[in-house]
Structures are given as C-alpha cells and as structure tokens.
C-alpha cells in the first residue's frame, strides 16, 4: 500500500458535556480534531500508511496533538511546530429535535498564519502516492487558499494522486468574505477522487443539480466528470435525519462508467456524529489502497462512518476487524 499524506489544520475541540448548551455547561470535554487529521488517523488504524503535514504551536497542546497522531501510527515529520496558538472549535451536541451547533475560534492560529513557502514539499511528499486535501484549508483565508493550491501543485508536479473532500464551511468563508467557487474548482480539478454531493457540485458549477435521490446524485456526478477531466470517482453519503439520536445513512460511489450504492443503515443511539464524513473518506481510501472493488470500498466507508457515531471525539478509532464485524451484523458481545 502507498503512503497517503494529509494536509490541514489540527484543532482543539471543546464540547459541552451531556446535552447541555455551550453557554450553560458545567464543564467542557477536550479532544483533538481536524478533518484531514481524522482521515489520517482513521486510515492508519486500518493499516494504511499515512503522514500528516500541518503547523502546531510549540507548547503542551501542540505536543498533545502530535502525540494523538503518533499514537495511531500517523507520521508526524511534516508537522511544523511554531510559536502561536491552536485553533479551536466549540461544539454544542444536539438533542432530540435540537441540532448540533459549532462555534469556531480559528483566526490567528499557528496554522492559519502559515504561508506559501513554509513547507518543504519535496520532503513532505517523499514516498507519497496520494495527497488528501479538503475545502476547509482554503476557507481559512486568502493565504490559506494559496497554501492549499501550493500543496496540490507540488503533488501534481510529482505525479502524486490527489483526493479532495468538499467539507464546505460557509461560516469560515463568510468570516473573511471569500469567494469559494473559483478556489475550490482549481483544487477539485487536480483530484482523481472527490468526496462530495450534489450540493458541492452545485456550488462549484454555479447551478443547482435538479432531481431527487439517486437520479440527482448521478446527475451531479456526470456534471462533475464533464467539468473535471482528471476526476475518476465521486464518493458520497446520503443522510436522513430522523432526530439527533436516529439517522439513516447510505453510501454511494460514482465512476465514469457506472455507480455502486449501499442500502440504508439505521444509526440509533448516536453518541457523536462529528467526524463521520472523515471516517467515510478514511474507509473508502483504505479500501481502495487494498485494491478492493468499488462496492466493497463503499461498504467499508459506510461501516466506518456508522461506527464513528458510537464514539465520542473527532476521529475513528476502529480497525479492520471492527468493519468486518459490522458488515457481518455482529452486534452481540464479542468474547
């Protein structure tokens, strides 16, 4: 299996305990988060070699984040440590018919202050066969846009495949008045795998994708394949929110010559849905690294995403045997 390098910001996540609101919780739970780091951790625990490229503050919190990566087996040589602060996000977990809510505090973080030229991409991408990016990095500001484009250009120049997760964050773009479509189009144009749905494609192409259900998902994929010649796979999940504790989830992968689709899984008793999309991406990429067929890759992604809902924190902590047990329907105690 090749080496997947993930590039993006690691964050401190502070969550209201239980079902409290952020403004009235008696205590906060702390964990390490970040979409790209979640993919690196998820893949590493499934046995796929991964490494992280990022910037962290040179303090105890930064060192805690590095230890979080290293504990999962993620390479950390590409993580710079500089003076500054870690970005934060605060989570109010949903309950019943109340949706979860996120408050960002990322401006001026050590990563947000990084500039093009700060990374030695020759070293960071050494031995890599894939670079994984997401739409979060360019959402942080104009310099971060240039940094994401620099990373993609460095990978392209070395013949390294690129996967891109849309991860659209409207609040981050709005904070600095950024225009997401032109930047995101340039990044998606470099990718062979896109994690996204009809909303992402509508944003990129400036037109809503008509239709419903599977027909709309195929229409979005066809539009993406027409617009981006390098793109080979578009992977997505479809979620039906019954309430904050019960969701229906399915997965799909569209290729230029066809598509595969899973059935719906009922996820009940949700502990934490944050990071489920990153777990899906990790499962799909890890399966494809093993040479598994698209149907099985979609099922790996769905299994890891569904399992992530049972776990507090941002990143999946599951292994291949957990995916196998989930797919086999093993819900009883394993002895």
Top-level class of domain 3-234? alpha beta
334: pLDDT strictly greater than 80: no
Q: Stretch 299-318: mean pLDDT, rounded?
A: 96
pLDDT band with cut points at 50, 70 and 90 for residue 335: low
To the nearest whole number, what is the mean pLDDT of the chain? 95
Q: Which residues contact 110 (CB under 8 A, 6 or more apart)?
A: 55, 56, 57, 62, 82, 83, 84, 85, 86
- % of the chain residues with pLDDT over 70: 98
Domain residue spans of the chain: 3-234
* pLDDT tens string 12-71: 999 998 889 998 999 999 999 999 999 999 999 999 999 999 999 999 999 999 999 999
Per-residue confidence (pLDDT) for residue 19, from 0 to 100: 84
* pLDDT tens string 144-175: 999 999 999 999 999 999 999 999 999 999 99
The burial class, CB within 10 Å (0-12 / 13-18 / 19+), for 230 is middle
192: pLDDT strictly greater than 70: yes
pLDDT band with cut points at 50, 70 and 90 for residue 198: very high
* pLDDT tens string 250-295: 999 999 999 999 999 999 999 999 999 999 999 999 999 999 999 9
pLDDT band with cut points at 50, 70 and 90 for residue 184: very high
In 3D, which of 144, 86, 150, 85 has the Cα closest to residue 124?
A: 150
Listed range (100-109, 230-239, 322-331) with the worst mean pLDDT: 322-331
Per-residue confidence (pLDDT) for residue 330, from 0 to 100: 63
Listed range (6-10, 265-269, 326-330) with the worst mean pLDDT: 326-330
Per-residue confidence (pLDDT) for residue 251, from 0 to 100: 97
Q: What is the pTM of this model?
A: 0.95
Higher pLDDT, 1 or 316: 316
pLDDT band with cut points at 50, 70 and 90 for residue 331: low
């Amino acid at each position: 299996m090749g080496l997947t390098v993930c590039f993006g910001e690691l964050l401190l996540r502070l969550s209201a305990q239980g079902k409290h609101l952020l403004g009235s919780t008696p205590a906060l739970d702390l964990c390490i988060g970040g979409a790209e780091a979640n993919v690196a951790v998820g893949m590493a625990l499934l046995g796929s070699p991964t490494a992280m490229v990022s910037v962290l503050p040179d303090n105890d919190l930064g060192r805690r984040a590095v230890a979080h990566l290293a504990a999962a087996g993620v390479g950390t040589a590409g993580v710079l440590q500089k003076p500054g602060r870690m970005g934060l996000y605060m989570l109010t977990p949903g309950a019943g018919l109340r949706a979860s809510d996120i408050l960002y505090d990322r401006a001026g973080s050590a990563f947000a202050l990084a500039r093009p030229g700060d990374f030695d991409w020759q070293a960071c991408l050494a031995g890599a066969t894939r670079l994984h990016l997401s739409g979060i990095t360019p959402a942080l500001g104009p310099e971060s846009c240039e940094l994401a484009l620099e990373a993609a250009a460095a990978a392209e120049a070395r013949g390294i495949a690129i996967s891109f997760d849309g991860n659209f964050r409207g609040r981050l773009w709005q904070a600095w008045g950024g225009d997401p479509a032109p930047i995101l189009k340039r990044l998606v144009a470099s990718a062979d795998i896109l994690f996204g749905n009809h909303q992402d494609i509508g944003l990129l192409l400036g037109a809503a994708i008509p239709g419903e259900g599977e027909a709309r998902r195929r229409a979005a994929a066809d539009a993406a394949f027409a617009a981006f010649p390098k793109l080979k796979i578009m992977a997505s999940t479809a979620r039906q929110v019954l309430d904050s504790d019960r969701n229906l989830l399915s997965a799909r992968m569209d290729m230029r010559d066809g598509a595969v689709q899973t059935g719906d899984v009922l996820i009940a008793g949700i502990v934490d849905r944050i990071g489920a999309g990153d777990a899906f991406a990790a499962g799909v990429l890890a399966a494809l690294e093993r040479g598994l067929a698209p149907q099985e890759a979609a099922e790996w992604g769905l299994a890891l995403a569904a399992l992530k809902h049972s776990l507090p924190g941002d990143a999946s902590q599951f292994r291949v045997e957990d995916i196998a047990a989930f797919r086999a329907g093993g819900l009883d105690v394993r002895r």
